[in-house]
């Protein structure tokens, strides 16, 4: 533990973290991805990311506590130094600005960038699709561009439709098409699975193609019982096998 403390003082924390995202790129670290999302709370897609980090939130807090209680003198001398303290990883919920406001501010940044670049007319910056769930009286609309992964999408869906749980999705937040028996279990159960209608009008199981491709081709989402979606399984598995 103490060696970790020593490490933290000298090294940029970012170096020691395992993050999602391209290597060497991106400034977002632990818990505050700058998705320009305005609807839906993002909170727990963030903390899921946390699990994949080498340094858990607890460790981070421990380190911070250790710094404060241990060496106030060091801290004082640090601050008299005109250079900035080492960049800290962002912590969940700090500073205490509501997600609503944070989302709006980050959205403004992206739209201001756009007005500088583009001369007129909006680019398709949103990808709204209707979402319905069998048995639910209300349908919703979601903007697929608000999410960066299947996991984020499934979290959002589970908030909109309380009967839709993400339990079967494994660590990646999506159906593992390569594992045929697991897939069949899911489809034979009474759990709900998300399906989508693609550009060609075919209904597919969500998760069969890479995320970006999905966002481009998805026209509509429908959450149905696994047993009803069984017919869609063969196509999905084929697609996966074909790719790998």
> If we measure between CA atoms, which residue out of 134, 139, 147, 153 comes closest to residue 191?
134
Q: Which of 6, 18, 24, 79 binds another protein (CB under 8 A)?
A: 79
**41 lines the binding site for another protein (CB under 8 A):** yes
Which residues are registered as beta bridge partners of 223? 133, 194
Residue 84 CA to residue 66 CA, distance in Å, equals: 20
20 contacts another protein (rule: CB under 8 A)? no
* Only segment of 14-22, 115-123, 202-210, 232-240 that touches another protein (CB under 8 A): 115-123
Distance CA 158, CA 111 (A): 29
> Does 88 sit near another protein (CB under 8 A)?
yes
Distances (CA, A) of 193 to 150, 167, 210: 12, 11, 17
Residue 9 burial (CB count, 10 A): 13
For another protein, give the closer residue by CB, 65 or 241.
Answer: 65
Q: How far is the CB of 61 from another protein (least distance, A)?
A: 5
Q: What gap in Å lies between CA 217 and CA 211, rounded to an integer?
A: 10
Q: Per rule CB under 8 A, is residue 65 in the interface with another protein? A: yes
CB of 62 to another protein, least distance (A): 10
**Among 18, 24, 84, 244, contact with another protein (rule: CB under 8 A):** 84
Report, in Å, the least distance between residue 76 CB and another protein. 4
Q: Closest CB to another protein among 124 and 234?
A: 124
39's tokens? 């609807």
CA–CA dist 116, 42 (Å, integer): 28
**Counting contacts by CB under 8 A, is residue 105 touching another protein?**
yes
Task: Write the DSSP symbol of residue 184.
Answer: H
Query: Does 83 engage in binding with another protein (CB under 8 A)?
Result: no
Pairing of strands 203-205, 128-133: unpaired
Residues engaged in binding another protein (CB under 8 A): 32, 38-44, 46-48, 50-51, 57-58, 61, 64-65, 67-69, 72, 75-77, 79-80, 84-85, 87-88, 90-102, 104-105, 108, 111, 120-122, 128, 130, 137-142, 159-160, 162
């Amino acid at each position: 533990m103490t060696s970790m403390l020593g490490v933290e003082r000298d090294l940029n924390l970012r170096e020691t973290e395992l993050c999602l995202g391209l290597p060497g790129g991106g400034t977002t670290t632990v818990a505050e991805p700058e998705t320009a999302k305005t609807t839906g709370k993002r909170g727990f897609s963030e903390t899921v990311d946390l699990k994949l980090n080498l340094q858990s939130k607890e460790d981070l807090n421990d380190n911070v506590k250790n710094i404060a209680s241990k060496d106030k003198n060091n801290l004082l001398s640090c601050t008299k130094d005109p250079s900035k303290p080492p960049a800290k990883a962002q912590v969940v919920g700090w500073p205490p600005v509501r997600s609503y406001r944070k989302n709006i501010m980050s959205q403004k940044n992206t739209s201001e960038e756009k007005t500088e670049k583009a001369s007129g007319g909006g680019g398709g910056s949103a990808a709204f699709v209707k979402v319905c769930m069998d048995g639910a009286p209300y349908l919703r609309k979601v903007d697929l561009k608000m999410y960066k992964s299947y996991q984020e999408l499934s979290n959002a869906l589970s908030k909109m439709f309380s009967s839709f749980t993400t339990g079967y999705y494994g660590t990646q937040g999506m159906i593992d098409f390569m594992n045929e028996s697991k897939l069949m279990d899911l489809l034979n159960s009474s759990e709900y699975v998300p399906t989508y209608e693609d550009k060609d009008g075919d209904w597919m199981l969500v998760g069969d193609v890479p995320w970006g491709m999905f966002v481009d081709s998805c026209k509509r989402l429908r959450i149905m019982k696994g047993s009803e979606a069984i017919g869609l399984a063969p196509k999905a598995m084929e697609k996966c096998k074909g790719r790998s």
